[in-house]
Chain A
Amino acid sequence: MVEQMSPLGDAYVPGSHGNFADGTGVKISLPQPGSIVEATAWPGREAALAGAIERVTGLSLPHHPGGGVVTGDRSGFGIGPRKWLLTDAAEGLAETLRDALGIENGTVTDLSHGRTAIRLEGERAEWVLAKFFALDFSSDAFPVGSGRATMHHDILAQIQRTGPSRFNLYVFRTFARSFWRVLCHGAEEVGYEVR
């Protein structure tokens, strides 16, 4: 397979940036999962979809809105009614899942190129994210594993909390460079490291 090219171009500058008076507030990175997939069940077929996802990925997705899980190379979380966003470090998830699901149960859309994953982690991750999103990032309101679909101005973002102070953000690829820039800009205050 030909490797995907990052959409960031010259906006991606590894190293340390911003104000380090109090150490590195956040680390920003580009995890580049091989597969990003949106899966949707028809009404009443949610269980069939959850079953297919579990068979294919081993992810046992909670049914409550916004619920999700992260295991090793894979993750999944609810992004809308009967709709999940799934990722896998490996390529090819969309095809496997589509075969496992069947059109009578729902649809699978490959977004591996269409969405860009950005990882933000560190002590000040909640603070930095709160500059962009009108979401309650406290761990009570936004527990590990769960996800939210939201937006920063014109940029739609799907966000999963993958650790106590770690988040994965999925944004539309063509907005990724722009969003990366504003994210870095907002992180300057707390000091950030790109890697």
Chain B
Amino acid sequence: MSPRRTAAGGRIDRARTIRFTFDGKPMTGHLGDTLASALLAGGVTLVGRSFKYHRPRGVFAAGVDEPCALVTVIDGQAREPNVPATQIEIFDGLVVESQNRFPSLGFDLGAVNGLFGGLFSAGFYYKTFMGPVVGPLKGTRFWMLCEWFIRRAAGLGRAGDAKDAARYEKMNAFCDVLVVGSGPAGLMAAKAAAASGKRVMLAEQEPLFGGAARWSGETIDDAPAERWADEAVAELAGLDNVRLLPRTTVWGIYDGNTIAALERVTDHKASRARGEPRHRHWSIRAGKVVLATGALERPLVFPGNDRPGVMLARAAGRYAAEYGVLPGGRIAVFTNNDSAYRAAAALHRAGATIAAIVDVRAQVSAAASKLARETGAEHLTGHAVVDTAGRQRLRQITIRRFDAASGALSGAARRVEADCLAVSGGWSPAIHLASQAGAAARWDERLQAFLPPEPTGGWVGAGSFTGAFTTQEAIAQGLAAGAAAVGATPAASKPPQAGGPDLDVTPAPVFEIRAKGKAFVDLQHDVTAEDVRLAHREGFVSVEHLKRYTTLGMATDQGKTSNVPGLAIMADAAGRTIPQVGTTRFRPPYSAVSLGSLAAERHGELRPERLTPMHDWHIERGARMLAAGLWFRPQIYGQPGETVEQAYAREAAAVRAGVGIVDVSTLGKIAVQGPDAAAFLDRVYTNVFSSLPVNKARYGLMLREDGLAFDDGTTWRLGEHEFLMTTTTANAGKVMQHLEYFLDVVWPDLRVNLTSVTDQWAGAAVAGPKARDVLAACVARTGVDNEMLPFMGIVRGEIDGIPVTICRLSFSGELAYEVYCGAGHGLAMWEALMEAGKPFGIVPYGLEALGTLRIEKGHVTGSEIDGRTTARDLHLGWMLSKKKPFIGSAMMDREGLASPERLQLVGLVSLDNRAIANGAHIVEGKQPPDDPHGSIGHVTANCFSPALGRYVALALVKGGTSRHGTRAHISDPLRGRFGPVEIVSHHMFDPEGSRMHG
């Protein structure tokens, strides 16, 4: 066993050796170790490099507040950068790498930056790199050249580029009380709340519950606090109404007490079970939240305070008590409050030599003095550490006499040999979640800390989160908070009794020891005390300016250790109080959250797909599918050797010559029913529907309230009070909401009910001169001749025993029918139609052919109804009824909507026998750059028209109709195409419509 290991105690299992690698080097630890504790036990002190100066850094903390010891965890192809070593539970086969160093951690070329510290002061980059005003490096070029180097030097770990094999899941939960934090306060709160029988959840970011009880060395009810905690947890685990969530960080409080938490389900395991997520993203709706999140220790700022071996006192104490690891052999302590004496005692108990306890205070409490004596350390009150020495690890500290009131140093410098310096600068309650919930922190002068405000609404606080730092207070507050959270009064029985030294964590108001040398405030971002003073000099005084100018507190630890010292130094420089400088509002997340967990199962292949009942048939027939929103629709049914253009031209030609069939199941379909249904349709469509006879359909156009075109489609009157409205595929949801809004909000008096029946009906359009023959061959129980089924007529019948509704309407301009049946019969109906169509040469056609047929006819779709066009722009002015108001009628005649300069729908015919690409623009003369601002419109849809034998297109062109018969050019500089076109009417084929009426 490592000489740094204690013989007994703590959470580790000394019988279980765990093997892992760090920078390729095999290492061992014990079950229960974190990477940090295992590295310390292995004598590794250099773990990382800092952001800017690439200074050597070691383990500084023991928890989520770690600013320095960041590593990358390698899991097969996946990489997780920037993970604090303090948060990694080691397991057999764990692979970690250090980061931000080149070529190696021990020898890092980037460390040269440290030599230019004066030049690389806060905000230096704003003042230089602007480069020359003229020449090849003018404009932004010089900066971008410099930036290339800066970007490579910056950053921390490297992200992976392989797809992550791990699974991430979201979990929704509801509870009456969510307790955050499981120290004595949290445990008591959970117990008190659970006693009511209400649903309680207890979340703890560490693997083990108990918080401070695990390392305080105190007793509770005469048992070691740790054992008391284990018993409390066992009791909670036995209750049906309690859910315990270890390794779960509550990182966000959102509105309505919606709580976001990250559970690291398998990060501590060598493998994941089938279906087991790596991370679980909890979204918890909690009646009340008990915040028992404890407090974070602050360091003191002094020259050399970043040397590996310098660490927070609590961390040093925790390593000894909780992990059985001595962070050093000869340890010095430097503090401004009593709490570090507890750490010193723990370290001493674990077998370390305590070289000195340096306290900035002239006087300390009796309890602290007693602990100091017990450790056998030299107790230097009224002293301060003014420097440290050692290459890549601490070797020695320098101490001088210090006056806490004035900050003055005096007397000779003394050097003390030490390989670890445990530092405490006081405590900051972890008020982040309360701050996120909207509460402004208040400064407590006695505790020298920001405390949460009085609780309002969703949460109550307990324990050191509230600034109550003794275990007895934590127990009492936990009990009270737990009871309050369920609206009960705390049980009258005697609360558990804590036993331990009576320490006072109230710090002396000392944050910085000003002496020669770089003193770091933000250890990760290398923000020094001088940087803070420079920010002050340059006027960046408000806390947000300080942060943004120096990057203080913006590192991965989010300033957990650096915020308050930074503010204090600024306050001192500005001659203000700390609250006058202000505190920043904390934002989610409390600690970093994997993007995978937030994305959960929602990304990638698990995004929903919408499939028509005939989907599999299309696939089997070799259809190339196109995504249309969430839908998939056949683009073409290509034959071997065919190009897309050949395929759709063949399909479209087959429709014009014979008969084709297309899946129209994706069209939005809304059942509009009720005594006022017809009146309702008169209001929402620009044209009249109340006059529509039963068993007839009509083409309708809707506008938005602002008078612009919204959607079109046919609506079928199936009964006196029953209509089936169809919408475009893309707008189905929007039209439904639009109609529901008007019924609920504007016309609640109308007795109309809307139901989405898009999914109820499968639809096939059969089009072409032989369409009637196909139907006649398979439809039973009704005739389909012109008399029974005239244009826009509706009949009901059967195909192969399947009930169908047939409407004769045409999007292609051919004789055509839409045949609908229950979706569960869709495939059978489709196959029956195909079978019936065989003798007539029926051809299935896809979206491209559908588009070709409609372009030839000049029918509009979403490409033309693009939210900017009016009915008149699209030559649909004839549909605007003058007999009645309708949605949009009041605003559709505004001057801007009636201007002759507007873009108007036209047809284009290519004059050079080349395709007119969609998205091309139209110009009168030259192409750019010769004709700036020359665009007079754009192509909305294009095709090769087999019917016309030409490349044609639809376009929106300024003053379109007036240009009919004129020549223009299409201009497509992106794709290098420029060519002549003739502007024609959008009705390019069979303008009289004789074919569909045939």
Contacts and interface: CB of A to CB of B under 8 A. Distances in A.
A/B contact in complex, CB under 8 angstroms:
yes
Interface of A: 1-7, 9, 18-19, 21, 38, 40, 42, 103-104, 106-107, 109-115, 130-131, 133-136, 138, 141, 153-155, 172-175, 177-179, 181-182, 185-191
Interface in B735-785: 751, 753, 755-762
A133 B283 CA distance: 11
Interface in B590-645: 601-602, 606-613, 615-616, 630-631
A111 B757 contact: yes
A38 B173 CA distance: 30
A113 B759 contact: yes
A113 B615 CA distance: 16
B671 interface: yes
Contacts of B824: 3-7, 112-113, 173
Interface string B796-824: 00001110000000000000000000111
- Looking at A154, A174, A178, A188, which has the most chain B CB atoms within 10 Å of its CB? A174
5 contacts: A111-B755, A130-B173, A136-B174, A174-B610, A174-B759
Contacts of B756: 114, 172
Contact of A138 (B174, B613, B759): B174
A189 to B, nearest CB: 4
B275 A7 contact: no
Contacts of A111: 755, 757, 759-760
Contacts of A191: 275
B950 interface: no
Given A107-B753, A174-B631, 14 more contacts: A7-B613, A18-B275, A42-B751, A106-B753, A111-B755, A113-B822, A115-B759, A131-B172, A134-B283, A172-B759, A174-B612, A177-B611, A178-B610, A189-B169
A38 to B, nearest CB: 6
A173 B669 CA distance: 14
Contacts of A178: 608-611
Contact of B759 (A9, A114, A134, A141): A114
A113 B172 contact: no
Contact of B758 (A136, A174, A177): A174
A131 B265 CA distance: 15
Contacts of B611: 7, 174, 177-178
B933 interface: no
B828 A5 contact: yes
Given A135-B172, A178-B609, A182-B601, A109 B273 contact: no
Nearest to A155: B608
A141 B174 contact: yes
A2 B608 contact: no
Nearest to B265: A189
- Interface centre among B602, B665, B753, by most A CB within 10 Å? B753
B755 A38 contact: yes
A106 B761 CA distance: 22
Contacts of B5: none
B274 interface: yes
A181 B606 contact: yes
B601 A113 contact: no
B277 interface: yes
A38 B275 CA distance: 36
Nearest to A152: B608
Contacts of B170: 131
B674 interface: yes
Given A7-B613, A153-B608, A131 B169 contact: yes
B601 A9 contact: no
A181 B674 CA distance: 37
Interface in B13-65: none
A166 B759 CA distance: 25
B827 A19 contact: no
B760 A189 contact: no
Given A113-B822, A185-B601, A179 B608 contact: yes
Most-contacted residue by chain B among A21, A106, A113, A190 (CB, 10 A): A113
A191 B172 CA distance: 20
B623 to A, nearest CB: 15
Given A19-B274, A131-B170, A5 B601 contact: no
Contacts of A42: 674, 751
Nearest to B610: A174
A155 B606 CA distance: 12
- Of listed A103, A104, A172, A185, residue having the most chain B CB within 10 A: A103
Contact of B674 (A38, A103, A138, A172): A103
Interface in B823-849: 823-828
Interface in B627-672: 630-631, 665, 671
Contacts of B675: 103-104
A175 B631 CA distance: 9
Contacts of A19: 273-276
A4 B822 contact: yes
A110 to B, nearest CB: 7
B432 interface: no
B172 A5 contact: no
A38 B609 CA distance: 24
Contact of A130 (B172, B721, B755): B172
Interface string B393-422: 000000000000000000000000000000
Nearest to B720: A103
Contacts of B601: 131, 182, 185-186
B169 A186 contact: yes
Contact of B273 (A9, A21, A153, A181): A21
A121 B980 CA distance: 66
B1 interface: no
B715 interface: no
Contacts of A135: 172
A94 to B, nearest CB: 10
A2 B283 CA distance: 45
Given A107-B753, A113-B825, A138-B174, A175 B608 contact: yes
Q: In the A-B complex, list the 4 residue pairs whose CB atoms are closest, starting with the nearest.
A: A4-B824, A188-B275, A114-B760, A189-B275
B171 interface: yes
Nearest to A111: B760
Contacts of A181: 606
Contact of A5 (B273, B275, B613, B721): B613
A178 B610 CA distance: 7
Contacts of B608: 153-155, 175, 178-179, 182
B630 A154 contact: yes
B814 to A, nearest CB: 27
Contact of A2 (B273, B612, B751, B828): B828
Q: Which of A103, A107, A111, A181 has the most CB of B within 10 A?
A: A107
Given A109-B671, A113-B825, A185 B606 contact: yes
B757 A109 contact: yes
Contacts of B935: none
B87 interface: no
Nearest to B823: A113
Contacts of A109: 671, 673, 753, 755, 757
Nearest to B802: A2
A5 B800 CA distance: 15
A27 B671 CA distance: 35
Interface in B181-235: 199
Interface string B280-292: 0001010000000
A120 to B, nearest CB: 15
Nearest to B752: A107
B277 A189 contact: yes
A40 B743 CA distance: 14
A52 to B, nearest CB: 15
A19 B140 CA distance: 57
A178 B673 CA distance: 30
B673 A107 contact: yes
Interface in B704-740: 721
B864 to A, nearest CB: 26
Contacts of A3: 824
B283 to A, nearest CB: 7
